[in-house]
Structure 1
């Protein structure tokens, strides 16, 4: 190393020129850049080297800020500190982070002076928010190891965890929000007594982001009489925490959690799931098709089915493969989901690619997908809310059996002055549902019965119907399932996508505001009355900001 070479060179030069200067040796200090912003450093003995050298080493792995966390450019250190169990003498350090040299340089000085951990506690290292933390990061690591040596903290090292030492421990998630799949989450701010359902002699592994919150929880639990708790050193920052379940039995909370990610349990097996892949309205690329097929072969049974909501389901995925499957799909730009009390994936027919298509359903449904499936993904509703877009009145995707259905329309404009009352009326002959008829020698179309398919336009040789208006019919309150309901159309035809998108948002907000937990939109409409709901959607005042701030509890069963 350049530094050691220069030190020994100077020592030799001094000795050769009449000033005998001994070289006392080095501690193996080194730093290296690994990636942009991530460096590694070490000095002194490793745990294994310390044991070989005759010490009884104790270690701790901790993660701490490298400067004030709120300061721009702040990062953190992951530090492993090694000390002698009996004397508390510092033996070595390894550290990952940004400015790791300052941690290593402090340790080198301590090693050369033969300092104990406690000797660092009161040293006034340089501090200001841009440079360090109020308690120097190196001292923080010393304090954590001191707590471990004194018994104030009992912990499990990352090496022990990786070797399976937590196999018979229940994992408690102490992060600010539930984060660890399958773990019981503890709201630290509300813990004011023993944890319901957990015995005081239970083996508990306490896990947070870095270790600090877990240590706070350990102190509280000890106060409440819990005797076998361990803090996982470094938390999820250092460890890949996975909850292991006894045998193949998955607890209901875990089944519910993965269901929220689009993984529905195959009732024939205790640990197999069918995983829904969102296809953006049924239209995906050939490359995406290949990725889904590959994912099914790699992680599932190799079979893929299509749901009525135009999502693809990868069949027979073992619970242990769920994370790997979703990671594989995410890397290909695909996602799983489509469950819960929220806007569900949008479905649409082929639209303008169909001979009867009156609207570009893929374009409209993509906008709906982006605005409401993605944009409202974290907005909880009283129950699920399904949307469908049909390109014409043929209703291939059954829009009127969705909470809100959109149907492409072409509304004929009749010019009776051009009607000749032909013996064989081409309009009457063309009408697929028989609502266009000659009455007293003049063409009549029952406006209540006409479904606005547009098939009659330009069929009259005398141009009685040449003009038409393209638009959208919107139905609300449809439902398929245990209790079927057919949606009822609003009294207005909408002539632009912008109007339709605005109406959809108003409907979702109205349902969130006035619906009741567990109540489908059809039930809300039945309870409040169709006329009231229509008036609110078309003309009423809806305060988006205040509605989105409301706390709503969903009641979707599937």
Structure 2
């Protein structure tokens, strides 16, 4: 039997290889458009981020190696262009010779996969705009990021691949915006409240997320410079198109094969409506394992499974493909996300009587180092207790939670099947009662009526309106809520009526359940526990008049909002600018934000950020969302690298360097790039264009000053009685001695004013550079920074010194002390020696990953 396989990535190579193992005597040939076969498509984002170092690591098999291992004939560079199922003939174009070739078959496997869908946007052909589907795409993106020193990128598409690309660009120090036309990220993958949690997390990690936003145009002449939306123009030196994929089935248009939206319809044996023709992988439309309905699930995992099953079918075995669950897992910055089965919406659409729970549990023994959490949503049928789906977040091994759910759904398990399940336990791996079992217990309590709760989705939809919020945390944490000490409840609670509608909110949900249990015993009839509590939900008490709790003041300070101590709940929100420079469009957005969410007043800070005044606590998140939609962000507070300030540089008659370009590069590389790096105290950087020191670089933790070092040609000096060089020198360092002009380099501030002033060109040559000051400080205590002995001649040298200074401060600074204190304690010569060597950079990863438990010392 002659079997022809079209497509050489996952399903095609798996089917062909397995088929030859089933029957070595079969004639199996594989044709593919690409020169590569069997590449790791799911690993492409991690090549961009540098986690995978070389292209070779992405290639599972070369055509030659694969052919030798399997016995399959492999023909690359062949693009199928037509199928004649009556003649059992596939026509293909040889992409090397340009000739047309014909391939006959007894059985045909179509595994052509899918390609990136390019949205119809003006400017997609600009340089710097990429797709993400093949190894070459990933290589081009990483090369472009490195060669062009990309600092700002926009990823169009908020699915798995788009979010993975965003994470890996962030790891490369790129400021990333993700936009999606849908109302949420990962639509049809996560339920809305789960997607909202992920979006909030991404924003905290420095990834701007814009949903319900359409890219209208990519702006630029030869290369992309921005993405224009209906509400803003977002600067972008790189754009990655990840707005979905489409099956590669255009060549089948006249073949008579049955398709839906371009995907090939197959039965349980992956057979199409055409005789002898089968399909598998991203081009095939299979079924959902739970509902039996048709479902397109383009995943590398299911493609491999389909290919293997199809090979067994072709070999004559009684095998069927049961369908997909849409299982997936994605790594986000600092958070992993997994899912399988039906979403809540899909389960309801399928006719189930749906019940869900959101359970936040420990992911391992709470006392074990690096213990974190799982936020698990279980979806089940209320009548049968059958598990239908699950979604989970956590910094750790969410895949183990997903895999348990997959096996349960595959085997038709009901919730009771998990009771007393003897899963593996040891403190480094799990909790004594497995986190999945804990979530099941909570859902069973809800079904049985032992727990009366409100889901995050219900809370977000306003179901808590009319409820009095009871704060059950160990200490008061919800502004305007009534705090109840759980341990002290042994009867009626003073001031709380037994018939009141009460929403019990703690940190994760457990203490709320414990309080509800007690309150039921003491006659309280209308208590409801908020699932996920404050760790998952953004809990607000409407019209709260109480003061904002200290913990919340600290939290929002980290977002750039400083408490106005004259009020109970007003804050001044710092909007980050590029060294004080904003566009007219951004200025209008800030003014509108001030009117909508603040007092309508705007102030400038000494660090050239813009403060929106008088923002009520409850308006902080809406304000941040509004600013994000307009490409703006808040921040610039806390024990971190602060926004950079500089003078006007080359627009000043004394300017020696492009201060704005340098300060913006420092801002992107160290303010954004070191966004999550906590330091002993704030770290301020200033850039001055000349030694006039208008922005006081020597009074910052680190200052950079442009230099122009005059070089005297004594042979041309005529020792004039009236020396123009001497007259020009503003600090009177240039002197004529013994008939020659002399400039004392140890005193000269290198302002360059003397260059070109000698009519005989004795001071014509010069060396441009940068002087770096360290250990300056302005405020309660003043310290004059000292400059390093070396005058740096390249920008890269300066940027390396900046990074080494930050790393030294993190590694050797004590919590609460300013960099000036660190320099004084260690000694200037010691610090200078470290900054002029490369040992700090060699220890960079160890330094940044160290668990220092710094509290920081910045109060504003």
Whether TM exceeds 0.5 here: the answer is yes
SS in 2 for 1:412: strand
The counterpart of 2:468, out of the listed 151, 155, 167, is 167
2:251 matched residue in structure 1: none
The offset of 1:364, in angstroms, is 1.0
User: What CA distance in whole angstroms lies between the structure 1 residues aligned with 2:440 and 2:806?
Assistant: 55
User: What CA distance in whole angstroms lies between the structure 2 residues aligned with 1:391 and 1:347?
Assistant: 11
1:465 aligns with 2:739: no
Does structure 1 conserve the Cα–Cα contact (< 8 Å) formed by 2:546 and 2:568? yes
The counterpart of 1:397, out of the listed 686, 692, 695, is 695
The counterpart of 2:824, out of the listed 498, 513, 526, is 526
The offset of 1:318, in angstroms, is 1.9
The counterpart of 1:120, out of the listed 370, 375, 384, is 384
User: What CA distance in whole angstroms lies between the structure 1 residues aligned with 2:386 and 2:353?
Assistant: 17
The offset of 1:247, in angstroms, is 1.8
Does structure 1 conserve the Cα–Cα contact (< 8 Å) formed by 2:472 and 2:485? no
Counterparts in 2 of 1:481 and 1:34: CA distance versus 1, 3 Å: closer
The offset of 1:277, in angstroms, is 0.8
1:413 aligns with 2:711: yes
User: What CA distance in whole angstroms lies between the structure 1 residues aligned with 2:383 and 2:638?
Assistant: 56
1:58 matched residue in structure 2: none
2:851 matched residue in structure 1: 551
Counterparts in 2 of 1:166 and 1:77: CA distance versus 1, 3 Å: farther
User: What CA distance in whole angstroms lies between the structure 2 residues aligned with 1:118 and 1:323?
Assistant: 35
The within-5 A match list for 1:145-184 is: 147-148=445-446, 150-156=448-454, 162-170=463-471, 172=473
Bigger Cα displacement from structure 2, 409-418 vs 289-298: 289-298
Does structure 1 conserve the Cα–Cα contact (< 8 Å) formed by 2:755 and 2:765? yes
1:266 aligns with 2:564: yes
Unaligned stretches of 5+ residues in structure 2: 1-181, 191-323, 331-336, 356-380, 390-401, 416-438, 494-501
User: What CA distance in whole angstroms lies between the structure 2 residues aligned with 1:373 and 1:221?
Assistant: 46
The offset of 1:440, in angstroms, is 2.6
User: What CA distance in whole angstroms lies between the structure 1 residues aligned with 2:683 and 2:539?
Assistant: 34
Counterparts in 2 of 1:70 and 1:409: CA distance versus 1, 3 Å: closer
Does structure 2 conserve the Cα–Cα contact (< 8 Å) formed by 1:206 and 1:218? no
The offset of 1:162, in angstroms, is 2.5
The counterpart of 2:660, out of the listed 358, 362, 365, is 362
2:408 matched residue in structure 1: 134
The offset of 1:532, in angstroms, is 0.6
User: What CA distance in whole angstroms lies between the structure 2 residues aligned with 1:259 and 1:323?
Assistant: 13
The offset of 1:435, in angstroms, is 1.1
Does structure 2 conserve the Cα–Cα contact (< 8 Å) formed by 1:171 and 1:183? no
SS in 1 for 2:468: coil
SS in 2 for 1:322: helix
Offset from partner CA, 1:486-518 (integer Å, 9 cap, x none): 100000000011001111111111111110000
The within-5 A match list for 1:494-509 is: 494-509=792-807
The within-5 A match list for 1:195-274 is: 199-201=487-489, 205-206=504-505, 214=509, 218=513, 230-233=528-531, 241-243=539-541, 246-274=544-572
User: What CA distance in whole angstroms lies between the structure 2 residues aligned with 1:351 and 1:396?
Assistant: 10
User: What CA distance in whole angstroms lies between the structure 1 residues aligned with 2:634 and 2:441?
Assistant: 44
The counterpart of 2:595, out of the listed 275, 287, 297, is 297
1:96 aligns with 2:378: no
The offset of 1:205, in angstroms, is 2.8
Counterparts in 2 of 1:284 and 1:122: CA distance versus 1, 3 Å: closer
The offset of 1:312, in angstroms, is 0.9
Offset from partner CA, 1:1-42 (integer Å, 9 cap, x none): xxxxxxxxxxxxxxxxxxxxxxxxxxxxxxxx99995499xx
1:111 matched residue in structure 2: none
1:383 matched residue in structure 2: 681
User: What CA distance in whole angstroms lies between the structure 2 residues aligned with 1:485 and 1:237?
Assistant: 42
The counterpart of 2:720, out of the listed 408, 411, 422, is 422
Does structure 1 conserve the Cα–Cα contact (< 8 Å) formed by 2:804 and 2:835? yes
SS in 1 for 2:715: helix
Does structure 2 conserve the Cα–Cα contact (< 8 Å) formed by 1:39 and 1:96? no
The offset of 1:341, in angstroms, is 0.7
More strand by share: 2
Offset from partner CA, 1:149-184 (integer Å, 9 cap, x none): 5343232366586243542311659xxxxxx98699
Does structure 2 conserve the Cα–Cα contact (< 8 Å) formed by 1:171 and 1:243? no
Give the alignment's Cα RMSD to 1 decimal.
Answer: 4.1
Bigger Cα displacement from structure 2, 272-281 vs 375-384: 272-281
User: What CA distance in whole angstroms lies between the structure 2 residues aligned with 1:142 and 1:277?
Assistant: 44
Counterparts in 2 of 1:220 and 1:362: CA distance versus 1, 3 Å: same
SS in 2 for 1:168: strand
2:737 matched residue in structure 1: 439
Larger radius of gyration: 1
1:177 matched residue in structure 2: none
The offset of 1:217, in angstroms, is 7.6
User: What CA distance in whole angstroms lies between the structure 2 residues aligned with 1:34 and 1:302?
Assistant: 29
User: What CA distance in whole angstroms lies between the structure 2 residues aligned with 1:181 and 1:524?
Assistant: 38
What TM-score, normalized by structure 1, do the two folds share? 0.71
In the alignment of these two chains, the number of paired residues is 454
The counterpart of 2:839, out of the listed 541, 544, 550, is 541
The offset of 1:104, in angstroms, is 3.3
Counterparts in 2 of 1:152 and 1:350: CA distance versus 1, 3 Å: same
User: What CA distance in whole angstroms lies between the structure 2 residues aligned with 1:226 and 1:361?
Assistant: 69
SS in 1 for 2:748: coil
